[in-house]
Amino acid sequence: MKLKNLLFFALASSVLSAAPSPGYATAPGGMIMDEYGMIMNANSDTLPRDCQAISETVDLTIRAGRQHALKFNGKMFAFDQQEWQVKPCAKVNIVFINDDQIRHQLMIHGLPGYLYPDGMFHLELYGKGELKAALILPSQKKTYLVHCELPQHAEKGMKAQLKAGGGDGDLPSIPGISAPVKADSYPLDWNQANVGLLALCVIAGAAAALLLLRKKPQAGA
């Protein structure tokens, strides 16, 4: 009995550790998880009820990390792109790459709940790495939210949109695309200490400039 249990756990562990890397999860509502990341609600072969056939197959590589936020003022994290366009009923093969050593997610919301539990498609990497999974979109012309749901990651820039059939408008607060619901504010507190510090910096800068000018050798000397 002990030998059977050991064989069972060894087999289960090998399946879990190998599953995310080489291919796609094909069972809607299923989850694959190992020490590197997680795939939830992937679907590469079940059509939504309102689709007669797959309209197109699109391969998307989506990268996440700090370096992709450098183009946006005040942002800390971002995807390398903020918008993707596909057809309704498209099969979308996603390669999700985390360029950071910290945890990032790629979540797509608003999908039909009968096919994607909680209306969600989810990829997650606990550090630098890569995951692959697929989903099939329904027939609506719709704009889907793509974001990382970790605390403050979306607020700090990791937010994008996937438009099917041109979408139904832009979502708010997509970096570089739409205005924020509430813009970041960085007010300066003009108290006596800050005013004094500013004055000190101005005086020190002026003094340093005068000192350099006095030390500059005169022409013809």
- In this prediction, residues 98-125 reach a mean pLDDT of 96
Going by C-alpha positions, the residue among 25, 31, 52 that lies closest to residue 138 is: 52
Q: Which residue has the higher pLDDT, 6 or 142?
A: 142
- Which pLDDT score is estimated for 16? 38
**Kindly report the CA angle at 25 between 122 and 108, in degrees rounded to 5?**
20
Lowest mean pLDDT among 97-101, 102-106, 183-187: 183-187
Question: Which of the listed CATH numbers 1.10.10.10, 2.60.40.420, 2.130.10.10, 3.90.420.10 matches domain 22-164?
Answer: 2.60.40.420
Q: Which residue has the tokens 């974001």?
A: 147
Q: 15-19, 60-64, 99-103: which range is least confident on average?
A: 15-19
Q: Is the pLDDT reported for residue 135 higher than 70?
A: yes
- Cβ atoms of 144 and 162 within 8 Å: the answer is yes
pLDDT, residue 213, reads 80
Q: Taking the model in full, what pTM does it have?
A: 0.71
With beta carbons less than 8 A apart as the criterion, state whether 158 and 147 touch: yes
Amino acid at the residue 91: K
Residue pLDDT, tens place only, 144-181: 999 999 999 999 999 999 999 999 999 999 999 998 87
Query: So what's the pLDDT on residue 18?
Result: 36
Query: What is the average per-residue pLDDT within 135-145?
Result: 98
Question: For the chain, which residues make up each domain, given as ranges?
Answer: 22-164
Residue 219, phi then psi, degrees to nearest 5? -65, 135
Top-confidence residue, 8 or 41:
41
